[in-house]
A and B are shown apart, each in its own frame.
Chain A
Amino acid sequence: MKIRCVINGKPVDLEAASDRRVIDLLRENLGLCGTKEACGSGECGACTILVDGVSRLSCLMVAAQIEGKEIVTIEGFSSDHLHPIQEAFITKGAIQCGFCTPGMVLATADLLKRNPAPNRNEIRKALSGNICRCTGYQKIVDAVESVKGNQEYDHE
Protein backbone atom coordinates (compact mmCIF):
# COMPACT_ATOMS: atom_id res chain seq x y z
CA MET A 1 0.00 0.00 0.00
CA LYS A 2 0.95 3.64 -0.37
CA ILE A 3 1.89 5.33 2.86
CA ARG A 4 1.98 9.07 3.14
CA CYS A 5 3.21 10.61 6.34
CA VAL A 6 5.64 13.13 7.73
CA ILE A 7 8.88 11.85 9.17
CA ASN A 8 11.26 14.22 10.95
CA GLY A 9 9.49 17.17 9.42
CA LYS A 10 9.67 15.91 5.85
CA PRO A 11 6.79 14.49 3.82
CA VAL A 12 7.39 10.85 2.99
CA ASP A 13 5.68 8.88 0.27
CA LEU A 14 6.41 5.21 0.11
CA GLU A 15 5.18 1.83 -0.95
CA ALA A 16 5.21 -0.89 1.69
CA ALA A 17 3.28 -3.94 2.76
CA SER A 18 0.51 -2.78 5.07
CA ASP A 19 1.77 -5.11 7.80
CA ARG A 20 5.42 -4.12 7.55
CA ARG A 21 6.67 -3.25 11.00
CA VAL A 22 7.28 0.46 11.37
CA ILE A 23 10.72 -0.22 12.82
CA ASP A 24 11.69 -2.09 9.67
CA LEU A 25 10.24 0.65 7.50
CA LEU A 26 12.31 3.26 9.33
CA ARG A 27 15.56 1.33 9.41
CA GLU A 28 15.49 -0.56 6.14
CA ASN A 29 13.30 1.46 3.79
CA LEU A 30 14.41 4.89 5.00
CA GLY A 31 17.88 4.20 6.39
CA LEU A 32 16.96 5.72 9.76
CA CYS A 33 18.95 3.37 11.95
CA GLY A 34 18.86 5.53 15.05
CA THR A 35 15.72 3.69 16.15
CA LYS A 36 16.96 0.40 17.61
CA GLU A 37 15.45 -3.04 18.01
CA ALA A 38 16.38 -5.02 21.10
CA CYS A 39 13.44 -7.33 21.72
CA GLY A 40 10.73 -6.94 19.08
CA SER A 41 8.01 -7.53 21.65
CA GLY A 42 7.45 -4.27 23.50
CA GLU A 43 9.58 -5.19 26.49
CA CYS A 44 12.54 -2.84 26.17
CA GLY A 45 11.61 0.54 24.66
CA ALA A 46 14.66 0.74 22.42
CA CYS A 47 12.39 1.22 19.41
CA THR A 48 10.59 4.23 20.87
CA ILE A 49 9.52 6.92 18.40
CA LEU A 50 7.16 9.89 18.69
CA VAL A 51 3.89 9.57 16.77
CA ASP A 52 1.95 12.83 16.73
CA GLY A 53 4.02 13.82 19.73
CA VAL A 54 3.31 10.69 21.78
CA SER A 55 5.93 8.01 22.51
CA ARG A 56 5.09 4.65 20.98
CA LEU A 57 6.92 1.41 20.25
CA SER A 58 7.72 1.09 16.56
CA CYS A 59 8.27 -2.67 16.82
CA LEU A 60 4.59 -3.06 17.66
CA MET A 61 3.25 -0.81 14.92
CA VAL A 62 2.53 -1.66 11.32
CA ALA A 63 2.92 0.52 8.25
CA ALA A 64 -0.81 1.07 7.76
CA GLN A 65 -0.96 2.77 11.15
CA ILE A 66 1.37 5.65 10.26
CA GLU A 67 -0.62 6.90 7.28
CA GLY A 68 -1.15 10.60 7.83
CA LYS A 69 0.86 10.69 11.01
CA GLU A 70 3.79 12.85 12.09
CA ILE A 71 6.69 10.72 13.16
CA VAL A 72 9.78 11.91 14.94
CA THR A 73 12.76 9.60 15.27
CA ILE A 74 16.00 10.39 17.09
CA GLU A 75 17.51 11.64 13.86
CA GLY A 76 14.86 14.32 13.63
CA PHE A 77 14.85 15.21 17.26
CA SER A 78 17.46 17.90 16.90
CA SER A 79 18.43 20.08 14.00
CA ASP A 80 21.73 21.93 13.83
CA HIS A 81 22.10 22.04 17.57
CA LEU A 82 21.33 19.45 20.19
CA HIS A 83 18.08 19.46 22.10
CA PRO A 84 18.55 20.26 25.80
CA ILE A 85 17.62 16.68 26.62
CA GLN A 86 20.47 15.43 24.45
CA GLU A 87 22.89 17.95 25.94
CA ALA A 88 21.94 16.78 29.39
CA PHE A 89 22.48 13.13 28.52
CA ILE A 90 25.97 13.91 27.31
CA THR A 91 27.04 16.18 30.14
CA LYS A 92 25.59 14.00 32.90
CA GLY A 93 27.27 10.81 31.64
CA ALA A 94 23.95 9.15 30.88
CA ILE A 95 25.31 7.30 27.85
CA GLN A 96 27.47 4.19 27.94
CA CYS A 97 26.92 1.74 25.13
CA GLY A 98 24.26 4.08 23.80
CA PHE A 99 21.89 1.47 22.38
CA CYS A 100 19.03 2.48 24.71
CA THR A 101 19.79 6.17 24.30
CA PRO A 102 17.56 7.11 21.36
CA GLY A 103 14.58 5.46 23.04
CA MET A 104 15.39 7.07 26.37
CA VAL A 105 15.69 10.52 24.80
CA LEU A 106 12.30 10.24 23.10
CA ALA A 107 10.67 8.78 26.21
CA THR A 108 12.08 11.78 28.06
CA ALA A 109 10.64 14.15 25.45
CA ASP A 110 7.22 12.58 25.98
CA LEU A 111 7.57 12.88 29.76
CA LEU A 112 8.59 16.53 29.76
CA LYS A 113 5.69 17.42 27.53
CA ARG A 114 3.29 15.94 30.07
CA ASN A 115 5.19 16.99 33.16
CA PRO A 116 7.82 19.70 32.71
CA ALA A 117 9.25 19.40 36.22
CA PRO A 118 9.18 15.78 37.29
CA ASN A 119 10.85 14.58 40.47
CA ARG A 120 13.18 11.60 40.44
CA ASN A 121 10.41 9.08 41.17
CA GLU A 122 8.28 10.48 38.38
CA ILE A 123 11.25 10.32 36.05
CA ARG A 124 11.90 6.70 36.98
CA LYS A 125 8.25 5.86 36.38
CA ALA A 126 8.19 7.62 33.01
CA LEU A 127 11.30 5.76 31.85
CA SER A 128 10.20 2.40 33.24
CA GLY A 129 9.34 1.14 29.78
CA ASN A 130 12.92 1.65 28.61
CA ILE A 131 15.48 -0.91 29.66
CA CYS A 132 19.11 0.08 30.08
CA ARG A 133 21.63 -2.64 30.77
CA CYS A 134 24.70 -0.44 31.20
CA THR A 135 24.00 2.61 33.32
CA GLY A 136 21.77 1.36 36.09
CA TYR A 137 19.53 4.34 35.18
CA GLN A 138 20.92 6.76 37.75
CA LYS A 139 22.75 9.12 35.43
CA ILE A 140 19.83 9.05 33.03
CA VAL A 141 17.60 10.25 35.88
CA ASP A 142 20.25 12.87 36.72
CA ALA A 143 20.16 14.06 33.12
CA VAL A 144 16.39 14.30 32.91
CA GLU A 145 16.21 16.05 36.26
CA SER A 146 18.67 18.65 35.04
CA VAL A 147 16.56 19.49 32.00
CA LYS A 148 13.43 20.65 33.75
CA GLY A 149 13.11 24.36 33.72
CA ASN A 150 15.45 24.45 30.75
CA GLN A 151 12.88 24.18 28.05
CA GLU A 152 13.11 25.65 24.61
CA TYR A 153 10.56 23.12 23.87
CA ASP A 154 9.42 21.97 20.51
CA HIS A 155 10.22 18.98 18.43
CA GLU A 156 8.99 19.92 15.02
Chain B
Amino acid sequence: MSDVYLPASLDEVHAIRKRAPDAVILGGGTDLLVRMRATGKKPSVLIGLELIAELSRITLQDGFIRIGPMVTHQALLDSPVIRQHLPLVHKAAQVLGSPPIRHMGTIGGNICTASPAGDILPALYVLDAGLEISSPAGKRIVPIQEFITGPGKTILSNTEILSGVRVKVPDPRYQGYYLKVGQRKSLAISIISMAALLMVSPDKKILSARFAWGSVGPIVMRFPDIESSLAGRTFGPDLLLEVGRRTSERIQPIRDIRASASYRKMVAEGLPLKILEECSEKLPSTKKNHE
Protein backbone atom coordinates (compact mmCIF):
# COMPACT_ATOMS: atom_id res chain seq x y z
CA MET B 1 0.00 0.00 0.00
CA SER B 2 1.16 3.54 -0.73
CA ASP B 3 0.36 6.62 1.29
CA VAL B 4 -0.62 9.38 -1.08
CA TYR B 5 -0.13 13.02 -0.12
CA LEU B 6 -1.29 16.02 -2.07
CA PRO B 7 0.57 18.94 -0.48
CA ALA B 8 -0.35 22.55 -1.22
CA SER B 9 3.17 23.96 -1.52
CA LEU B 10 6.69 23.04 -2.55
CA ASP B 11 7.85 23.53 1.03
CA GLU B 12 5.46 20.81 2.10
CA VAL B 13 6.83 18.56 -0.63
CA HIS B 14 10.34 19.01 0.67
CA ALA B 15 9.18 18.38 4.22
CA ILE B 16 7.50 15.09 3.30
CA ARG B 17 10.58 13.98 1.42
CA LYS B 18 12.78 14.78 4.38
CA ARG B 19 10.90 12.21 6.43
CA ALA B 20 10.31 9.83 3.54
CA PRO B 21 13.37 10.02 1.29
CA ASP B 22 12.01 7.18 -0.88
CA ALA B 23 8.87 9.10 -1.70
CA VAL B 24 7.98 9.09 -5.39
CA ILE B 25 6.52 12.09 -7.17
CA LEU B 26 3.11 11.60 -8.78
CA GLY B 27 2.31 13.86 -11.73
CA GLY B 28 -0.65 12.84 -13.85
CA GLY B 29 -0.27 9.18 -13.03
CA THR B 30 -0.34 8.01 -16.63
CA ASP B 31 3.20 6.65 -16.49
CA LEU B 32 3.79 6.01 -12.79
CA LEU B 33 0.59 4.12 -12.03
CA VAL B 34 0.97 2.01 -15.17
CA ARG B 35 4.53 1.14 -14.16
CA MET B 36 3.44 0.28 -10.63
CA ARG B 37 0.84 -2.12 -12.01
CA ALA B 38 3.32 -3.73 -14.37
CA THR B 39 6.06 -4.22 -11.78
CA GLY B 40 3.83 -4.81 -8.76
CA LYS B 41 6.10 -2.43 -6.85
CA LYS B 42 4.35 0.11 -4.69
CA PRO B 43 6.41 2.98 -3.24
CA SER B 44 5.56 3.57 0.40
CA VAL B 45 4.84 7.24 -0.21
CA LEU B 46 3.50 9.07 -3.26
CA ILE B 47 3.50 12.84 -3.42
CA GLY B 48 1.01 14.31 -5.88
CA LEU B 49 1.75 17.84 -7.06
CA GLU B 50 -1.60 18.79 -8.58
CA LEU B 51 -2.68 21.13 -5.80
CA ILE B 52 0.40 23.35 -6.06
CA ALA B 53 -0.94 26.11 -8.28
CA GLU B 54 2.41 27.63 -9.16
CA LEU B 55 3.43 24.37 -10.81
CA SER B 56 0.59 24.56 -13.33
CA ARG B 57 1.25 27.97 -14.81
CA ILE B 58 2.44 28.99 -18.24
CA THR B 59 4.05 32.41 -18.40
CA LEU B 60 5.77 34.47 -21.06
CA GLN B 61 8.27 37.02 -19.87
CA ASP B 62 11.31 38.66 -21.45
CA GLY B 63 11.30 36.31 -24.40
CA PHE B 64 11.18 33.19 -22.24
CA ILE B 65 8.27 30.85 -21.76
CA ARG B 66 8.10 29.11 -18.44
CA ILE B 67 5.92 26.01 -18.23
CA GLY B 68 5.11 24.54 -14.85
CA PRO B 69 5.82 20.80 -14.60
CA MET B 70 2.21 20.02 -13.76
CA VAL B 71 0.88 21.64 -16.92
CA THR B 72 -1.08 18.89 -18.62
CA HIS B 73 -0.67 18.12 -22.29
CA GLN B 74 -4.23 19.34 -22.81
CA ALA B 75 -3.34 22.62 -21.12
CA LEU B 76 -0.40 22.92 -23.50
CA LEU B 77 -2.82 22.41 -26.39
CA ASP B 78 -5.27 24.94 -25.00
CA SER B 79 -2.65 27.60 -24.29
CA PRO B 80 -2.58 30.50 -26.76
CA VAL B 81 0.96 31.28 -25.63
CA ILE B 82 2.20 27.82 -26.58
CA ARG B 83 0.23 27.80 -29.79
CA GLN B 84 1.65 31.11 -30.89
CA HIS B 85 5.22 30.93 -29.64
CA LEU B 86 5.99 27.22 -29.34
CA PRO B 87 3.91 25.57 -32.09
CA LEU B 88 6.35 22.68 -32.09
CA VAL B 89 5.38 21.83 -28.53
CA HIS B 90 1.73 22.11 -29.57
CA LYS B 91 2.32 19.63 -32.37
CA ALA B 92 4.06 17.18 -30.08
CA ALA B 93 1.26 17.34 -27.52
CA GLN B 94 -1.29 16.59 -30.27
CA VAL B 95 0.08 13.13 -30.90
CA LEU B 96 0.80 12.09 -27.34
CA GLY B 97 -1.33 9.32 -25.88
CA SER B 98 -5.03 9.89 -26.28
CA PRO B 99 -7.52 12.56 -25.22
CA PRO B 100 -8.03 11.40 -21.61
CA ILE B 101 -4.31 10.76 -21.23
CA ARG B 102 -3.66 14.30 -22.41
CA HIS B 103 -6.09 15.54 -19.78
CA MET B 104 -4.08 13.84 -17.06
CA GLY B 105 -0.46 13.54 -18.20
CA THR B 106 1.93 16.40 -17.54
CA ILE B 107 4.96 17.87 -19.25
CA GLY B 108 6.95 17.36 -16.05
CA GLY B 109 5.90 13.74 -15.98
CA ASN B 110 6.95 13.22 -19.59
CA ILE B 111 10.35 14.70 -18.80
CA CYS B 112 10.96 12.90 -15.52
CA THR B 113 9.74 9.54 -16.82
CA ALA B 114 12.59 10.11 -19.27
CA SER B 115 11.51 7.47 -21.74
CA PRO B 116 13.41 7.70 -25.01
CA ALA B 117 9.93 7.60 -26.58
CA GLY B 118 8.55 10.52 -24.56
CA ASP B 119 6.65 12.60 -27.08
CA ILE B 120 7.33 16.08 -25.73
CA LEU B 121 11.06 15.45 -25.39
CA PRO B 122 12.34 15.82 -28.98
CA ALA B 123 10.55 19.17 -29.18
CA LEU B 124 12.19 20.34 -25.95
CA TYR B 125 15.57 19.15 -27.16
CA VAL B 126 15.51 21.17 -30.39
CA LEU B 127 14.24 24.14 -28.40
CA ASP B 128 17.19 23.76 -26.02
CA ALA B 129 14.84 23.79 -23.06
CA GLY B 130 16.24 24.55 -19.64
CA LEU B 131 14.89 22.66 -16.68
CA GLU B 132 14.48 24.37 -13.35
CA ILE B 133 15.31 22.15 -10.41
CA SER B 134 14.12 23.09 -6.92
CA SER B 135 15.36 21.76 -3.63
CA PRO B 136 15.37 23.03 -0.06
CA ALA B 137 18.76 24.50 -0.96
CA GLY B 138 17.35 26.63 -3.78
CA LYS B 139 16.92 26.52 -7.56
CA ARG B 140 19.17 25.82 -10.50
CA ILE B 141 18.68 25.45 -14.22
CA VAL B 142 20.05 22.57 -16.20
CA PRO B 143 19.83 22.07 -19.97
CA ILE B 144 17.52 19.21 -20.86
CA GLN B 145 20.40 17.42 -22.58
CA GLU B 146 22.10 17.10 -19.21
CA PHE B 147 18.95 16.40 -17.22
CA ILE B 148 18.08 13.04 -18.76
CA THR B 149 20.98 10.60 -18.55
CA GLY B 150 19.47 7.33 -19.75
CA PRO B 151 16.21 5.46 -20.21
CA GLY B 152 14.16 6.32 -17.13
CA LYS B 153 17.07 8.18 -15.52
CA THR B 154 17.39 11.82 -14.60
CA ILE B 155 19.89 13.70 -12.47
CA LEU B 156 17.25 14.51 -9.86
CA SER B 157 18.19 13.51 -6.36
CA ASN B 158 15.52 12.60 -3.86
CA THR B 159 15.53 16.12 -2.42
CA GLU B 160 15.07 17.77 -5.80
CA ILE B 161 12.03 18.38 -7.90
CA LEU B 162 11.51 19.61 -11.43
CA SER B 163 9.78 22.94 -10.87
CA GLY B 164 9.73 24.49 -14.31
CA VAL B 165 10.55 24.16 -18.00
CA ARG B 166 12.15 27.26 -19.54
CA VAL B 167 12.19 27.75 -23.25
CA LYS B 168 13.53 30.78 -25.08
CA VAL B 169 10.97 31.81 -27.66
CA PRO B 170 12.64 30.84 -30.91
CA ASP B 171 13.32 33.26 -33.72
CA PRO B 172 9.98 33.56 -35.54
CA ARG B 173 11.70 32.56 -38.76
CA TYR B 174 11.96 29.02 -37.45
CA GLN B 175 9.43 26.49 -38.67
CA GLY B 176 8.86 23.47 -36.44
CA TYR B 177 7.93 19.96 -37.48
CA TYR B 178 7.06 17.00 -35.32
CA LEU B 179 6.87 13.52 -36.79
CA LYS B 180 5.83 10.50 -34.82
CA VAL B 181 5.82 6.95 -36.10
CA GLY B 182 3.75 4.64 -33.95
CA GLN B 183 1.96 1.36 -34.43
CA ARG B 184 -1.35 3.18 -34.81
CA LYS B 185 -2.64 6.73 -34.96
CA SER B 186 -3.57 7.13 -31.30
CA LEU B 187 -2.62 5.46 -28.01
CA ALA B 188 0.78 4.74 -29.51
CA ILE B 189 4.24 4.68 -28.00
CA SER B 190 6.53 6.15 -30.61
CA ILE B 191 8.71 3.72 -32.50
CA ILE B 192 10.71 6.60 -33.86
CA SER B 193 10.05 10.30 -33.61
CA MET B 194 11.67 13.43 -34.90
CA ALA B 195 11.38 17.10 -34.06
CA ALA B 196 12.87 19.64 -36.42
CA LEU B 197 13.35 23.36 -36.20
CA LEU B 198 14.30 24.84 -39.56
CA MET B 199 15.12 28.37 -40.55
CA VAL B 200 15.14 28.62 -44.34
CA SER B 201 15.88 31.78 -46.31
CA PRO B 202 13.48 32.98 -49.02
CA ASP B 203 15.82 31.54 -51.62
CA LYS B 204 15.64 28.17 -49.93
CA LYS B 205 18.98 28.17 -48.13
CA ILE B 206 19.27 26.66 -44.68
CA LEU B 207 20.09 29.35 -42.16
CA SER B 208 19.77 27.05 -39.18
CA ALA B 209 18.57 23.49 -38.69
CA ARG B 210 18.07 21.38 -35.62
CA PHE B 211 16.85 17.79 -35.48
CA ALA B 212 16.12 15.74 -32.40
CA TRP B 213 15.29 12.05 -32.56
CA GLY B 214 13.30 9.93 -30.14
CA SER B 215 13.24 6.16 -29.68
CA VAL B 216 16.52 5.69 -31.54
CA GLY B 217 18.81 5.48 -28.53
CA PRO B 218 18.86 5.53 -24.74
CA ILE B 219 18.00 9.22 -24.74
CA VAL B 220 16.75 11.71 -27.30
CA MET B 221 19.54 12.32 -29.78
CA ARG B 222 20.79 15.35 -31.61
CA PHE B 223 23.79 15.32 -33.94
CA PRO B 224 25.30 18.82 -33.85
CA ASP B 225 27.80 17.99 -36.57
CA ILE B 226 25.06 16.99 -38.98
CA GLU B 227 23.08 20.09 -38.02
CA SER B 228 25.93 22.50 -38.57
CA SER B 229 26.89 20.91 -41.88
CA LEU B 230 23.53 21.95 -43.32
CA ALA B 231 24.11 25.68 -43.04
CA GLY B 232 23.94 27.40 -46.41
CA ARG B 233 22.75 24.27 -48.21
CA THR B 234 19.60 24.17 -50.33
CA PHE B 235 16.48 23.00 -48.57
CA GLY B 236 14.70 20.23 -50.42
CA PRO B 237 14.24 16.48 -50.65
CA ASP B 238 17.90 15.76 -51.38
CA LEU B 239 19.05 17.57 -48.27
CA LEU B 240 16.38 15.97 -46.11
CA LEU B 241 17.25 12.55 -47.41
CA GLU B 242 20.88 13.23 -46.58
CA VAL B 243 19.93 14.18 -43.02
CA GLY B 244 17.98 10.95 -42.74
CA ARG B 245 20.70 8.74 -44.15
CA ARG B 246 23.48 10.29 -42.10
CA THR B 247 21.37 10.01 -38.96
CA SER B 248 20.47 6.43 -39.74
CA GLU B 249 24.13 5.54 -39.93
CA ARG B 250 24.81 7.07 -36.52
CA ILE B 251 21.97 5.68 -34.47
CA GLN B 252 22.04 2.36 -32.65
CA PRO B 253 18.39 1.73 -31.82
CA ILE B 254 17.28 -1.31 -29.88
CA ARG B 255 14.93 -4.04 -30.86
CA ASP B 256 11.85 -4.24 -28.66
CA ILE B 257 8.33 -5.62 -28.75
CA ARG B 258 7.22 -2.76 -30.99
CA ALA B 259 9.89 -2.68 -33.66
CA SER B 260 13.24 -4.04 -34.71
CA ALA B 261 16.44 -2.02 -34.72
CA SER B 262 16.69 -2.30 -38.50
CA TYR B 263 13.18 -0.93 -38.99
CA ARG B 264 14.03 2.10 -36.91
CA LYS B 265 17.14 2.67 -38.95
CA MET B 266 15.25 2.22 -42.22
CA VAL B 267 12.57 4.70 -41.22
CA ALA B 268 15.13 7.21 -39.95
CA GLU B 269 16.51 7.38 -43.49
CA GLY B 270 13.31 8.69 -44.98
CA LEU B 271 11.59 10.35 -42.05
CA PRO B 272 12.89 13.90 -42.67
CA LEU B 273 11.24 13.77 -46.10
CA LYS B 274 7.90 13.81 -44.31
CA ILE B 275 8.57 17.45 -43.54
CA LEU B 276 7.72 18.09 -47.16
CA GLU B 277 4.24 16.64 -46.61
CA GLU B 278 3.60 19.54 -44.28
CA CYS B 279 5.43 22.25 -46.17
CA SER B 280 3.45 24.97 -47.81
CA GLU B 281 5.46 24.54 -50.96
CA LYS B 282 4.80 20.96 -51.84
CA LEU B 283 6.40 19.05 -54.61
CA PRO B 284 4.06 18.19 -57.50
CA SER B 285 2.10 15.02 -56.92
CA THR B 286 3.83 12.79 -59.36
CA LYS B 287 5.42 9.80 -57.78
CA LYS B 288 8.95 8.58 -58.00
CA ASN B 289 10.72 11.89 -58.03
CA HIS B 290 12.37 11.41 -54.71
CA GLU B 291 14.92 8.69 -55.11
Contact = CB atoms under 8 A, between A and B. Distances in A.
A60 B34 contact: yes
Interface stretch (A7-15, A48-56, A74-82, A141-149): A48-56
A19 B100 contact: no
B48 A64 contact: yes
A43 B187 contact: yes
B53 interface: no
Which size class do A's interface residues fall under?
A: 20 to 34
Nearest to A17: B1
Nearest to B97: A129
A57 B37 CA distance: 15
Contacts of A110: 99, 103
A42 interface: yes
A110 B38 CA distance: 29
A43 B186 CA distance: 10
Given A19-B1, A19-B4, A129-B186, A61 B100 contact: no
B50 interface: yes
A65 to B, nearest CB: 6
A120 B198 CA distance: 33
Q: Is the interface of B mostly helix, strand, loop or mixed?
A: mixed
A19 B42 contact: yes
B261 interface: no
A41 B35 CA distance: 9
B6 A64 contact: yes
Interface residues of B, number: 28
Contacts, number: 82
Given A65-B48, A128-B187, A129-B186, A57 B4 contact: no
B126 interface: no
A150 B2 CA distance: 45
B104 interface: yes
Nearest to A54: B103
Given A17-B1, A60-B33, A45 B98 contact: yes
B203 interface: no
Nearest to A48: B100
B29 interface: yes
A40 B97 contact: no
Which of A18, A55, A67 lies at the interface centre, i.e. has the most chain B CB atoms within 10 A of its CB? A18
B5 interface: yes
A17 B46 CA distance: 13
B99 A126 contact: yes
A129 B29 contact: no
A75 B282 CA distance: 50
Contacts of A57: 30, 100-101, 104
Contact of A61 (B29, B37, B101): B29
B34 A41 contact: yes
A145 to B, nearest CB: 17
Contacts of B34: 41-42, 60
A41 B50 CA distance: 20
B99 A67 contact: no
Which of A41, A48, A55, A64 lies at the interface centre, i.e. has the most chain B CB atoms within 10 A of its CB? A64
A41 B37 contact: yes
A129 B6 contact: no
Contacts of A71: none
Given A18-B3, A41-B38, A42-B101, 4 more contacts: A18-B2, A40-B37, A62-B29, A67-B6
Interface of A: 17-19, 40-43, 45, 48, 54-57, 60-65, 67, 107, 110-111, 125-129, 131
9 contacts: A19-B3, A55-B99, A55-B100, A60-B34, A62-B26, A65-B4, A65-B6, A65-B29, A125-B186
